[in-house]
A = this chain, B = another copy of it.
Amino acid sequence: MIVTHSGPPFEHEIRVRWADCDPARIAYTGRVACFALEAIDAWWEHAVGDDWYTMNVDHDAGVPFVHMSIDFSRPVTPRHILVCEVRLLSLGESSVRFQVSGRQFGEPCFNGEFVEAFVRAAAHVKTAIPDRYRQKLQDSLWKQKRA
Contact = CB atoms under 8 A, between A and B. Distances in A.
A33 interface: yes
B67 A68 contact: no
Tallying the copies of this chain within the complex gives 4
A17 B38 contact: yes
B41 A37 contact: no
A37 B19 contact: yes
A139 interface: no
A78 B64 contact: no
Given A18-B41, A41-B19, A26 B64 contact: yes
Given A41-B18, A52-B18, A24 B64 contact: yes
Interface in A2-22: 17-19, 21-22
A53 B124 contact: no
Contacts of A37: 19, 29-30
A108 interface: no
Contact of A19 (B28, B57, B124): B28
Contacts of A69: 67-70
